[in-house]
Amino acid sequence: MTEQKLISLVIDEIIEHKLSHYRMKNKEYKEINTELTQLGSKVQSVLSELSAGKADIINLYIAKHADLADKDCAFLYAQGAKDCVKLLKRLGVL
């Protein structure tokens, strides 16, 4: 395993841990997640009315959108760390 891959795995674990904690504590997140779960059931109902090909296209779109959101999250986490280091250097802390 390359060093970069190992670092990515560590970052992924940190993100998952922090998100899990945030999700348990944040009331607004819980409310939105409940709404999303209810909408998910409705989406599945609508998808069941479509042909298999059309349903597959929508499911693939949703999955790819989620993949992209995961990549955005990882990028923003890493960029936030870099920005923090820059700020600390400018402040003379580092």
Which position has the higher pLDDT, 1 or 66? 66
Distance of CA 35 to the CA centre of its chain: 17
Task: State the Cα–Cα distance between residues 94 and 58, nearest whole angstrom.
Answer: 49
Q: How far apart are CA 74 and CA 69, in angstroms?
A: 9
Confidence (pTM): 0.73
Q: What is the pLDDT of residue 8?
A: 86
Using a pLDDT cut of 70, give the percent of the chain over it. 100
Tell me the C-alpha distance between 79 and 66, whole Å: 20
List CB contacts of 11: < 8 A, sequence separation 6 or more.
74, 77, 78
